[in-house]
Amino acid sequence: MISRSEIVPYSVTLTESQDANVSKLLAKMNVIRAEYGMPLRVTSGFRTREDEMRIDPAHPNSAHTRGEAVDILDTDGRFWNWCVDHLELLAELGVYLESRAYTPTHVHLQICPPASGHRIFLP
């Protein structure tokens, strides 16, 4: 299972909203992890605004800063392909995927609908 410390890997005080979002994200990710049946490695979860400006300054208010997104290492595309094959489960859970074209080494999953409303979206 994915632990909370994998989503929030350092000591930071979350707001009530961020904490609630991280809890929802973690619960949904552990359903996905159980269904996937293999370990998942979190490469990025919650990000402070400072982290976000260092990692992706074009998106200072990303879902990561709200505790609503996680990136999973996926260099071979196996997890991505599984996600695409299980879009119905992701829809039931309210989970969205960023297009693989923008995340070739990881899968970005988020629990907030993107502006397009598409299950697989462009950033």
Q: Judge whether residue 103 has pLDDT over 90.
A: yes
**pLDDT level of residue 48 (50, 70, 90 thresholds):** very high
The angle formed by the CA atoms of residues 93, 108 and 77, to the nearest 5 degrees, is 100
Number of domains in the chain: 1
pLDDT of residue 63: 96
Could you tell me if residue 64 is inside a domain?
yes
**pLDDT level of residue 13 (50, 70, 90 thresholds):** very high
Could you tell me if residue 7 is inside a domain?
no
Could you tell me if residue 101 is inside a domain?
yes
Write the single-letter amino acid at 37. Answer: G
Could you tell me if residue 25 is inside a domain?
no
Provide the domain limits for residue 71: 36-114
Could you tell me if residue 82 is inside a domain?
yes
Average pLDDT over residues 24-47: 97
Residue 103 has a CB neighbour count (10 Å cut-off) of: 17
pLDDT tens track for 51-89: 999 988 888 889 999 999 999 999 999 999 999 999 999
Could you tell me if residue 99 is inside a domain?
yes
Residue 4 has a CB neighbour count (10 Å cut-off) of: 14
**What span, in angstroms and rounded, lies between the C-alpha atoms of 7 and 58?**
22
pLDDT of residue 120: 98
DSSP per residue over 99-118, as a string? -GGG-TTEEEEESS--TT--
Alpha helices in 1-123 (DSSP H): 4-7, 16-36, 49-55, 78-85, 87-93
